[in-house]
Amino acid sequence: MKKTWMALGLSAAFLAGCGSEEANAPETTNEESATEETAAFPVTVTGADNQEVEVEAAPKRIVTLAPSNTEIAYELGLGEEIVGVSDNDTYPEDVQNKEKVGGMEFNVEKIISLEPDLVLAHDSAGGAAETGVQQLRDAGIDVLVINNADSIDQMYKSFELIGEATGTTAEAETEVEELKAGFAALEKKAASIKEEDVKSVFFEVDPTLYTAGNGTFLNEIFDLVNVENTMADQEGWPQVTEEAVIEKNPDVILLNYGSYVENAVDGVLTREGWGNVNAVKNKEVVEVNADITSRTGPRLVEGAESIAEAVYPDVFAQ
């Protein structure tokens, strides 16, 4: 995770907690390390498609088919092993040096040509990817389908699956604990917000008014940072009407599509008929980074903090 206030604090605590043990620990030889790595394999992992994948040895050539998979893999120290990523990958910067293998409908031939020993697919692709996944498996390539995380706990499961398949279980466990600590710190800060100061929010996923409802990781984040989600009475990722938003009268409108829609904030502020909506009237329409607020991976705490800062700058922007 890249949020400096949290990373520095956690790193210092971690080092302080294990410093004395490291000083007295016997040296581990390369041979012993290699033996420990070998002992972790073969390993059988069950993917989100309920298919068991037996990984014979630590993967040396990995292709990831979703940005969240990629970010998790990099966070687990697998950057050098990654040889291919999706067209939608933007982070970390090193992904620009990797072969691109397509989007939701990935290029099977390109992936096969990269000779991967593990492909990390993603359940969000649904039926569009089933044929391609089977073709890769028919070619003798291990394909592990990572779950589509609708909740923060399901995101932790994604870390677990990738960690198990790549021999980085310990790293995955450490990262999950850091994420939990980060969310806990935000929740503690949000507890200082008085009930009468709680703000309501409409989270606009795109200009056609898709939003985050109940049963989503974003709704969990809203609860965690003491924000009232105006569309919590909807399930999943619904498309709502302008009339519904106007009736809910949110105090703040958050947009996460400014990276591909020019003047996104102005577009909301000038919508016909929205002039009496509190968020528009008070110019509380704020753009947040799409990547860190939509990818269930190692930067989600950073995304949660960006939401909290946008809604409660006096509390969180310190």
Question: How is the chain split into domains, by residue range?
Answer: 35-175, 193-316
CA-closest candidate to residue 227, choices 203, 201, 254, 194:
201
Number of neighbouring beta carbons within 10 Å of residue 159: 27
318 confidence band (pLDDT: 50, 70, 90) = low
In sequence order, what E strands does the chain have?
43-46, 52-55, 62-64, 82-85, 99-100, 118-122, 143-146, 200-204, 228-229, 252-255, 285-287
| Residue type (1 letter), 287 | E
Q: Is 208 exposed, middle or buried (0-12, 13-18, 19+ CB in 10 A)?
A: exposed
Q: Where are the alpha helices (DSSP H) in 146-241?
A: 152-166, 169-190, 217-224
Mind listing the pLDDT tens digit for each residue in 262-315?
999 999 999 999 999 999 999 999 999 999 999 999 999 999 999 999 999 999
As a whole number of angstroms, the distance between CA 104 and CA 66 comes to 8
Q: What is the mean pLDDT of residues 28-55?
A: 74
Q: Which residues of 257-275 are buried (b: 16+ CB within 10 A; e: fewer)?
A: bbeeeeebeeebbebeebe
Pick from 85, 22, 296, 45: nearest CA to 167: 45
Task: State both tokens at 129.
Answer: 């990817």
Distances (CA, A) of 2 to 5, 146, 299: 9, 23, 7
Q: What is the pLDDT of residue 128?
A: 67
- 193-316 folds as Rossmann fold (3.40.50)
* pLDDT of res. 105: 87
Least confident of 4-8, 34-38, 111-115, 154-158: 4-8
Q: Give the number of other CB atoms < 10 A from CB of residue 148.
A: 16
35-175 and 193-316 share one fold: yes
pLDDT tens for 56-77 read 999 999 999 999 999 999 999 9
Task: Tokens for 173, please give them.
Answer: 């466990």
What CATH homologous superfamily does 35-175 map to? Nitrogenase molybdenum iron protein domain (3.40.50.1980)
Kindly state the tokens that stand for 180: 């939990």
- Residue 134 CA to residue 205 CA, distance in Å, equals 32
Residue 113 to residue 109: CA distance in whole angstroms = 6
φ, ψ of residue 226 to 5 degrees: the values are 65, 45
User: What is the DSSP code string of 36-74?
Assistant: HHHHT-SEEEE-TTS-EEEE-S--SSEEE-SHHHHHHHH
**CA distance linking residue 302 with residue 316, whole number of Å:** 12
Q: Is-contact 268 274, C-beta < 8 A?
A: yes
- pLDDT, average across residues 109-138: 91
Report whether 288 contacts 255 (CB < 8 A): yes
Lowest mean pLDDT among 21-30, 33-42, 112-121: 21-30
